[in-house]
Amino acid sequence: MQTSTTPRFSRSTIAIAIGVLLVIGVATVSLTGHAEKAAPAAPAATPVTVANVLERSVTEWDDFSGRVEAVERVEIRPRISGTIDAVHFQDGQLVKKGALLFTIDPRPYKAELARADAARAGASARLSLAKTELDRTKRLLEDRAVAQRELDQRENALREADANLKATDADVLTARLNLQYTEITAPVAGRVSRAEITVGNLVATGPTAPTLTTLVSVSPVYVNFEIDEPTYIRYSSAGAVGNTGVNRVPVAMGLTSEEGYPREGHVKSFDNRVDSGSGTIRVRAVFDNENGSLTPGMYARVRTGDSNAKNALLIDDKAVGTDQDKKYVMVVGTDNKAVYRQITLGPIVDGLRVVRSGLKKDERIVVNGLQRIRPNDTVAPESVAMDAKVASANKAAGQGTATAVN
């Protein structure tokens, strides 16, 4: 009987063989799929919103910060020494010019005036006597009863008596002025501060005289502010220098609690020099303050503008991108490709930004979707108005002149 020599395989060997066959099959199918895969399709155009660059007549405004100041400010000080007898005003009261503010004890000055009047009366009597004696001496000289020397003495006595009378007149005037100074009145109309020296206190005159109170005028008021050198050059080129031609520069002002610039005034003057350190020049404007709401020292938002409107290109601020220190927009041509364009910006006018350079009227720019595209990308543009709200408002207003604010 013969024994069979057919090899016997274990179950593990069969499993390994089957696994190898499966891997080879999967690899073959994968390679075939990659070989038969079609070329990638072109990327779809990015949807964006575009609008045409506007051109409109605008007045450009420049914004500055200033402070309200009184046209007239007076520190009330005593002009004579004495005791404060009365205070005739309430703190913060509005007073008229000439209103009585303080009274200093007048009794010593009344006595001084009486003494000066008495001295003047004596001097006047001596002058009359000198005149009488001179007339008598002249008659005696005609009769040769006196010498010429005596006549000369009488004439000299008359001149001395006349000089003494004038001196006493000056003493009377001084005493009367000092008596008047016991009543301290308001030199200008305005609002008075609090009384710094109260009744019963002794005050002195001279360089160290104390301030009794302060008084500031109410209307009109000044608003002082500083403008930069390029702005001043622009105004001066229109003839506004010093206090000449300043009415050509419109100015408006608003307080911190007010919306916009509701108060209109006029520029009074430009300073006579530009500060070399700050590159600015001081400006003074005048505003009415009939209701007294403007108080010296208040912070004021000021804007000044050119007197003549001019055409400017306007775009939506949302269309502007920032590339480090550069500003740019994406211009969409007829081939619907986005083109990078660097621009120079100006102030804002009615919600739109003035473009000084880099664009032309009616060019299409991307206003929405700027972050989704890169230069030379193909876009799917949807046209809208540059600013529908502003455009409709201007249309309703008859395309009036706009104003720009830096």
Give domain 107-180's CATH number out of 3.90.350, 1.10.287, 1.20.120, 1.10.260: 1.10.287
- How high does pLDDT run on average in the chain? 85
Q: What is the pLDDT of residue 351?
A: 81
Whole-model pTM over 0.75: no
For residues 305-317, average pLDDT: 83
Edge-first strand order for the sheet with 94-95 is: 73-76, 213-216, 190-192, 94-95
Q: What is the pLDDT of residue 396?
A: 45
Query: For 263-282, what is each residue's pLDDT tens digit?
Result: 999 999 999 999 999 999 99
Q: What is the pLDDT of residue 399?
A: 43
Given pLDDT bands bounded at 50, 70 and 90, which one contains residue 390?
very low
Neighbouring-strand partners of residue 46: 379
Each domain of the chain, given as residue ranges in start order, spans 48-60+310-405, 63-70+220-305, 78-105+182-216, 107-180
User: Which residues does 156 contact at the CB level (< 8 Å), separation at least 6?
Assistant: none
Domains 48-60+310-405 and 78-105+182-216 alike in fold: no
The Cβ of residue 340 has, within 10 Å, a number of other Cβ atoms equal to 13
Selection from 383, 362, 372, 373 nearest residue 338 by Cα: 373
For residues 81-100, average pLDDT: 96
Q: Hey, what are 365's tokens? A: 């720019």
Given pLDDT bands bounded at 50, 70 and 90, which one contains residue 346?
confident
Cis geometry, peptide bond prior to residue 220 (ω within 30 degrees of 0): yes
CA angle 248/254/257 to nearest 5° reads 180
Q: Higher-confidence residue: 352 or 25? A: 352
Question: Residue 27 and residue 6: Cα distance in Å, rounded?
Answer: 33
Q: What is the pLDDT of residue 146?
A: 78
Given pLDDT bands bounded at 50, 70 and 90, which one contains residue 24?
low
For residues 208-214, average pLDDT: 93
Task: Flag whether pLDDT at 344 surpasses 50.
Answer: yes
Q: What is the pLDDT of residue 393?
A: 44
Q: What is the pLDDT of residue 58?
A: 83
Given pLDDT bands bounded at 50, 70 and 90, which one contains residue 14?
low
Evaluate whether the domain defined by 78-105+182-216 bears CATH number 3.30.9.10. Answer: no
Give domain 63-70+220-305's CATH number out of 3.20.20.60, 3.40.50.920, 2.40.30.170, 3.40.50.970: 2.40.30.170
Do 95 and 192 meet the contact criterion of CB atoms below 8 Å apart? Answer: yes
84 to each of 77, 80, 109, 175, 211, how far by Cα in Å? Answer: 12, 11, 14, 19, 13
Q: What is the pLDDT of residue 4?
A: 45
For residues 25-39, average pLDDT: 50
- Is residue 330 helix, strand or coil? strand
What proportion of the chain, given as a percentage, has pLDDT over 90? 57
For residues 162-191, average pLDDT: 96
User: Span 48-60+310-405: which CATH code?
Assistant: 2.40.420.20
